[in-house]
A = this chain, B = another copy of it.
């Protein structure tokens, strides 16, 4: 019988932003896997699903989440170990759900895991269930219209701030979202000021956490935000 590994997006943090499908997949799976950076503590996706379904039995999977090029070797090795432990688990399973915040196909720990599992056992079917992404939550809370008519949209990471960001912000009909913008906030704000986008920018700090905030970018200090901040610039040519 065919076994399936399903990446399940559980949204940005508010358990209410889980989809009906994510819930039904969790309830019908015989193995539920959740990434964590410390096996003694629940990761964010586990916390989200347990607040909706406290009776789920969750198996924690140790993941390495050091970002960027410096972390990729560690993340790949962790994904290989995780794939091995899933495939060699004593528990028999037909359908394993791996939960992940946001969407499982967008900057997600699920991608590396799926590649590792697929490499070890090509017979396992890989599927995914979309989830609401952090920037959608920030846009809704800021009360802004992200896109309309023939406007376009760019999503970048803030790990490297350079020409790409300046080019993106220089197009007044393009909405721009920056993930992981916290570390370079000072330089991002400078670029936004040069391109006339600072005053209309928003920032989501600790998106999905209980102490999350959505604020205007111009009023936000570099020192007060974490690495995982989400920046949103709506189009200015309207």
Instruction: Establish whether residues B107 and A147, one from each chain, have CB atoms under 8 Å apart when the complex forms.
Output: yes
Q: Which residue of B lies closest to A159 (CB)?
A: B150
Q: Which of B11, B20, B126, B143 contacts A15 (CB 8 A)?
A: B20
For A146, the chain B residues whose CB sits under 8 A away are 103, 105-106
A65 at the interface (CB under 8 A from B): no
Task: For A21, give its contact among B14, B104, B150, B153 (CB under 8 Å).
Answer: B14
Docked CA distance A164–B143 (Å): 28
Cβ–Cβ contact A139 & B130, under 8 A: yes
Q: How far is the CA of A23 from the CA of B103 in the complex (A)?
A: 20
A144 within 8 A of B: yes
0/1 string, A153-168, CB within 8 A of B gives 1: 1111101100010000
A148 within 8 A of B: yes
Cβ contact within 8 Å between A17 and B17: no
Verify if A149 is at the interface (C-beta below 8 Å from B).
Answer: yes
Q: In the docked arrangement, what's the CA distance between A142 and B127, Å?
A: 9
Q: Which residues of B contact A19 (CB under 8 A)?
A: 11, 16-20, 132
Mark A residues whose CB is within 8 Å of B: 11, 14-21, 23-24, 52, 68-69, 72, 103-108, 111-112, 114, 126-132, 136-137, 139-140, 143-157, 159-160, 164
Given that A105-B145, A140-B130 are contacting pairs, would A20 and B152 also be in contact in the complex, using a CB cutoff of 8 Å? Answer: no
Cβ-defined contact, A155 with B157, below 8 A: no
In the complex, the count of this chain's copies comes to 2
A46 to B112, CA, bound (A): 38
- Please judge, given known A-B contacts A148-B111, A157-B150, whether A105 and B139 are in contact too, CB under 8 Å: yes
Complex formed: what's the CA distance from A156 to B175 in Å? Answer: 11
Which residues of B have CB within 8 Å of A17? 19-21, 130
Provide the residues of chain B in CB contact with A114, threshold 8 Å. Answer: 145
Contact A160 B150 (CB under 8 A): yes
11 A-B pairs besides A104-B140, A106-B153, A128-B143 with CB distance below 8 A are A11-B19, A18-B19, A105-B140, A105-B146, A114-B145, A127-B140, A128-B140, A130-B132, A130-B140, A152-B155, A154-B155
- Taking CB atoms, residues of chain B closer than 8 Å to A145 are 105, 111, 114
- Report B-chain residues with C-beta under 8 Å of the C-beta of A105: 136, 139-140, 144-147
A143 touches B127 (CB 8 A): yes
